[in-house]
A and B are shown apart, each in its own frame.
Chain A
């Protein structure tokens, strides 16, 4: 009987070329919140290649089926792979032609299983995903991380947004925000991220999902303020120092 050569297992260097070890082209934070009629989600359009801002028109939010909206941060090629998986999922769902369609809760559950199983095989999809949607009047907003941590909340943020945007959302979010208030709150968070996240780009999109469907806005920029007197003359009182 032929003996199989002793395989060094999943973590051998041959298998390395098949696993995701590091992210290469990454997107930065996504911020989302529930408002009166549904979900509002914001993401900028930057794709960084390490420390270079390589791509400046990357759409990091896509609609899934009729009821959901997916936003992703992290490795962009893995995001595109996830979109292909979801495409197939929605296609099979439509082929049943039974009058029912997958809602956000189901898509979130599917994504959680995919992310967790990939992580168990040491080949993760290097993304933090935000899944929001409305089905039959029920709003849903959830998040899945690259190791499979998932939860549902009234407002979520990925990446740097966790540290910079969530404190603002925890203070100022309340039930039944109007559309204008929700957009103002998201813009407040995105402005802080623009000031303090090095991989942020001043070109963002805001997406809205309600019972009627998904609308993704045109890309636009935020106004920033740099006119503090300490910025114009930092060494007042001590010429020559810094």
Chain B
């Protein structure tokens, strides 16, 4: 038996070999399996005391809504939350991973996590995978240095912004922010603006829908308002239940007992241990 290739010890990092095979297959006409995307509207803004994040709750698989009420605002640290758009598996995995890394870091340093730490961990990971981890994130939190809001793109670039939107509904939400945002908003004004932006995404973008989730983070305090607003209630419920009308006549009742097909022998020694 002759060895065609020399055995090379496995190097660290992502192996890009299959990417060439996938490209070749798509050129030949094979359709790649579609990902479960969160086709989304996610937003964040900085108000006078901290950061408010918002997200819709629709997850799509191509043209079908596969989850009507999913959670897109992920926990990173007690004072940091992250909204995720793009491939659902990628956003979940990457935010979970960085959340664990942050906790280990907190044990190591004995201090509260900083937003820039989460930012750097995320962007290093995403850049390492050259955009193949399709996660577009809006990261927000309040730490000792103040409130921070960042966007992170799948290829690893980041922005620091006073207000940010990502996802397929980002243009609709951004139009609301660009026309109504100002500095020094109060808590109620901020939540109202975030809700308006998410609703603009829900009603004007096909990839976003269902409900509005809001997360408010200030110094030493956070409020996770799951399903803060439900603008798409199920309004029509039929009064008739799924019962047959009672006028069916019974013509004949015949009961046929089924014969036992297997004889169960009670033996004293069951399974040998």
Contacts and interface: CB of A to CB of B under 8 A. Distances in A.
Contacts of B175: 163-165, 167-168, 189, 192, 196
A241 B178 contact: no
B178 A230 contact: no
A236 interface: yes
Contacts of A192: 174-175, 178-179
B116 A241 contact: yes
A237 B200 contact: no
- Chain B CB count within 10 A is highest, among A195, A234, A238, for A238
**Contact count band on A:** 20 to 34
Tell me whether chain A's interface is mostly helix, strand or loop, or mixed. Answer: helix
Contacts, number: 69
Given A163-B172, A241-B119, A242-B160, 10 more contacts: A164-B171, A167-B176, A171-B200, A191-B178, A192-B174, A192-B175, A192-B179, A234-B159, A237-B146, A242-B158
B101 interface: no
- Chain B CB count within 10 A is highest, among A163, A165, A167, A195, for A167
Given A196-B171, A230-B46, A237 B145 contact: yes
- Chain A CB count within 10 A is highest, among B143, B148, B178, for B178
Nearest to A161: B175
Contact of A196 (B120, B174, B183, B204): B174
Contact of A228 (B114, B119, B183): B183
Interchain residue pairs A-B with the least CB separation, the first 7: A237-B145, A163-B171, A238-B116, A234-B160, A230-B162, A167-B172, A167-B200
A119 interface: no
A229 B171 contact: no
Contacts of A163: 171-172, 175, 204
A170 B203 contact: yes
Contact of B204 (A166, A188, A195, A238): A166
A191 B145 contact: no
Interface of A: 163-168, 170-171, 188-189, 191-192, 195-196, 228-231, 234-238, 241-242
Contacts of A236: 145-146
A97 B143 CA distance: 77
Contacts of B146: 236-237
B161 interface: yes
Contacts of A242: 158, 160
A109 to B, nearest CB: 29
16 contacts: A164-B171, A167-B203, A171-B176, A171-B196, A196-B175, A230-B46, A230-B149, A230-B162, A234-B159, A236-B146, A237-B114, A237-B116, A238-B116, A241-B116, A241-B119, A242-B158
